[in-house]
Structures are given as C-alpha cells and as structure tokens.
Amino acid sequence: MNKKIRLLIVISSLGLLALSVIQGYLINNTYKLKKTAFIAETKKSISRLDDLSPKLDGINETLQDNFLNLIADYYVKKITKKQVLEKLNSYTDSINRVYIESYEKELKEQEIGYDLKFQKVVNTIIVLDSAGIKNDTIFSSLKTPSFHLLGHKFDEKDGHKISNSLWLTDHVFNRKVNGEMRSITFNLQLETEDRMNIDGWERIVFGRMAILLGMSIFIFLLVFWLLYYSIINLITQKKIVDIKTDFVNNITHELKTPLSTLTLATKMLQNDEMVLASAPSKNIVNTIERQNIRLQKLIDQVVNNSLGYQEIKLNKELVNANEYLNLIVDDFQLSLNLANIQISKNINIDIPLSVDKFYFTTAVLNILENAVKYGKENLKIVISANITADFKLIISDNGIGIPKKEVPFLFDKFFRVGNKEVHDVKGLGLGLYYTNQIVKAHQGKILVESKQGKGTSFTILIPIA
C-alpha cells in the first residue's frame, strides 16, 4: 500500500478516535447533568411531604414524645443506652407499616411517575445536661451505619439524601427520684436524615437521553462507515490504476518487437536495390506477414479474452470426459517439446460431460500454460479429474507459487503478480480472468490454493446434470 494512503488511514483513524473520545466525554457530562437534575427534581417533589401531610406529621409527633420519654428514663438511669435504642426500634417497628402506607398515599398524589422507596434514619443522639456542659452520646453513625427509624429498609449506598434535620430541644420533666418528685431538665440533640431510593433511576436517566444517545451512535456509525468505505474505495481505485498501468506497459512491450520489425522491413522494401533482387524481397514480405499475424493475435487475445461470462455463448455437447481430457493434456505435452517437465494424469470419469469443447479447452490450457510459465526447474504438473458431487478437475504444479495477499486478485482482469520472476515472463494478465469467465458460463466455480515457493493448485468444479 502506498505511503500516502497509509498516512491517510492513520490520520483518519486518529481523528475518528479523537471524535469518539470527545463525544464520549460530552455524553458522560450530559448524563451527570441529567442525573443531578433528575435527583433534584425528585427531591423537590417529595421533600415537604412530611410537613404537608397531617397524618405523617401526627406520626412524627407521637414518635418524638415517645422518644423524649425514653431519653428521660435514660437520664434518670432507669434504662441503658442500649435499651433506649432497643425500645425506640420496637416502637418504630410497630408504627412503620402505617407510616409507609401514609407516605405512599402522599407520594401517589404527587404523581411522580416512577417507583420510589424512602427512609428516615438517625445519625446522632446526644444528651447534654441542663448546664450544657457534659454531653453524652447515645448514638453516633460515625463508626456504625445509621439507625433506621422509619420507612423502607435499603443500604445507604443505594439511596440519595433528601434532607438533613437537626432537632435541638430543652426538655423539662418530672420524675420520682428516691421517692420524691423532681423536675429535671436536659437538652437533646437529634440529627436525622431522610433518604430515597429510586428503582432503576439509571434507566430513567438514560431514557431521557435516548434521542441524544441514538443520534450520537447513528452519526458515529455513519461517519465510521463513510470513512471505511472511502478508504476501501481509494485502495481499490489505486489497485485498478496500478493494474491498468501494468497492462499498458505490458501491451506496449508486446507491440514493440513486431512494430520495429515491420518498420525495418518497410525500410528495406523502400530500398530499390533490394526490391530488384527478388529472393530477399520475398523474405521481407514473409516477415511482414508473420509480424502482422502476431499483431493480429495479440489484438485478438485482448479482445476475446476480455469477454465477460454473460457474453460467452456456449455450444455445449456431451463428451467422453476421459478421452477429451486426455487429448487436451497429450496435445499440450506435445506442444511443449520440453523433456524436463513431468506431467502426470489421474483422470477417472465414467460419465459423459456436457461442456463447450472450444471454450473449456481454452480454460484448461490457460491453467496448464501458466503452470509452465510460472514453473521452476524440475517442474511437475499433476492433473486429476473425478466426479464427486460435481465434475472436479484439479491442476497442480510445484512452481513459484503465489504470495498469499495476491491470491484474491488472481481472477481480476489484467492482474499479474507484481514480483520480478513474473515480470520476466510475458503475459497480459488475461488468462485466468478469461478462464474464470468460461467456468462461470458453465455455472461452475474455480478455486485456487497456493504457497509461495512451493506451488499452486487450481480446482475447477462444474455441476453435472
């Protein structure tokens, strides 16, 4: 691949990557903003639920009274810290069902449109004596989880804080201490927190971003596809241009020799002395004719071998496959006139084959000629034919082989492998293209397997019936 194209691919990929990172960053920011807005909006709609509902307010008030009595009992050492919490817990447990029901009823009236759990927890309970000097911590959530007071039970990490409230109160009460009634005062500091847990809030936030997300993914895929398509197109175009340039070079090379011979012959004929002597002029005319035939053949090769399979009009006939194939191979071997090429056959077909003899022979010969053209010393060609599901003809050689990355282009028009070994051999890159078109016209297919330096094997498959 050309350096410029590689650079283009690298720069475009980096650009696309940068674009995706920026897009990801923006989406993440939008997600955070939407999440904050969503939580804030929910908080706002439920934060004053306790105060607005007389029932909830009533429950809170009796809870406060009960709680103050417990603290008073603790203050006169009737119960321990642990018992305060235990009693508080058993009291809140007894009213929790009614509390939840009332809360849910209020929630329903808010019509927020999604499920929500809520809880009230205690973070600290501190009692100070009347002088406000000695403070006694009954509970603190600094080291332990908060104390669940009312509402649903869920983990702190699964919830969002709705509000915090700090209740400071001076409490005066009368208690019998050592047989006599005494008025006792203490200060209480109670810190509670309201929390909510929204079921599937991520889904709701994502749902609100659906259009943005959908559009982003769509645009990203579109840009990615456009880039991919343009690069592939560019590479293909470059390949086609290279192949065509090669073809022009090849054909120019092929035309050069006959044309220069013709020029020379014409020059000789212009020479009067030479024309007068009849014998040499006959030779010159013969040369002209030979070169003319050569030029004609070359043009015919380009014109005929460029036919597409739709343009090939087959004239099929039933042939005795064994006889027919043996004849092609034998004639080919004879025409070679080379002793150091070993050709072995394993042709084993006992049913007649329906092919166009003229075209099919050309197809087989093109492969055989290639095997010789791109062979090495001690060339061995193996031809085997049999009937499996289809008629199967395999032609293998132990020649120079084809580099793996070039194999997919073998049947393209004008394609020739770009290495020196191949360029020293004449050819227009049409043989395999034409062979493939002939096989396609017979509704068959052609497969190729090759290993560079080891050899190549072509398989032609033609459906029988």
Least spacing, CB of residue 429 vs Mg ion, in Å: 8
Go through 272-294 and write b for each residue having 16 or more CB atoms within 10 A of its CB, e for each that does not: eeeeeeeeebeebeebbeebeeb
Stretch that binds Mg ion, among 94-102, 117-125, 326-334, 427-435 (CB under 5 A): 427-435
Q: Which of 71, 397, 461, 462 touches ligand ATP (CB under 6 A)?
A: 397
Q: How many residues bind ligand ATP (CB under 6 A)?
A: 23
Looking at the DSSP bridge assignments, the partners of residue 380 are 342
**Rounded to 5°, angle at Cα 167 from 164 and 170:** 170
Q: Which of 422, 440, 445, 459 touches ligand ATP (CB under 6 A)?
A: 422
Q: Does 247 bind ligand ATP (CB under 6 A)?
A: no
Structure tokens that stand for 174 in this block: 């009368």
Q: Which of 49, 431, 441, 460 touches ligand ATP (CB under 6 A)?
A: 431
Stretch that binds Mg ion, among 225-233, 238-246, 368-376, 445-453 (CB under 5 A): 368-376
- Nearer to ligand ATP among residue 106 and residue 246 (C-beta): 246
Q: Does 417 bind ligand ATP (CB under 6 A)?
A: yes
The item of Mg ion, ligand ATP, none sharing an interface with residue 118, based on CB under 5 to 8 Å by kind, is none
Q: Does 433 bind ligand ATP (CB under 6 A)?
A: yes
- Contact predicate 189/126, CB 8 Å: yes
Q: Which of 159, 399, 401, 431 touches Mg ion (CB under 5 A)?
A: 431
Q: Per residue, what are the HEC states of 354-401?
A: EECHHHHHHHHHHHHHHHHHCCCCCCEEEEEEEECCEEEEEEEECCCC
How do 380-387 and 342-347 pair as beta strands?
parallel
- Phi and psi, residue 177, nearest 5°: -120, 125
d(CA 34, CA 32): 6
Least spacing, CB of residue 252 vs ligand ATP, in Å: 15
Q: With the CA atoms of 97, 98, 104 and 108 taken in that order, what torsion angle do they form, in degrees rounded to the nearest 10?
A: 150
CB-count exposure of residue 131 (10 Å: 0-12, 13-18, 19+): exposed
Q: Does 370 bind ligand ATP (CB under 6 A)?
A: yes
In the DSSP assignment, the letter for residue 146 is P
- Nearer to Mg ion among residue 160 and residue 373 (C-beta): 373
Q: Which of 121, 400, 438, 461 touches ligand ATP (CB under 6 A)?
A: 400
- Nearer to ligand ATP among residue 352 and residue 403 (C-beta): 403
- Contact predicate 379/364, CB 8 Å: no
Q: Does 437 bind Mg ion (CB under 5 A)?
A: no
d(CA 456, CA 382): 11
Q: Does 393 bind ligand ATP (CB under 6 A)?
A: no
Least spacing, CB of residue 427 vs Mg ion, in Å: 5
Interaction site with ligand ATP (CB under 6 A): 366, 370-371, 373-374, 397, 399-402, 410, 415-417, 422, 427-433, 456
Interaction site with Mg ion (CB under 5 A): 370, 431
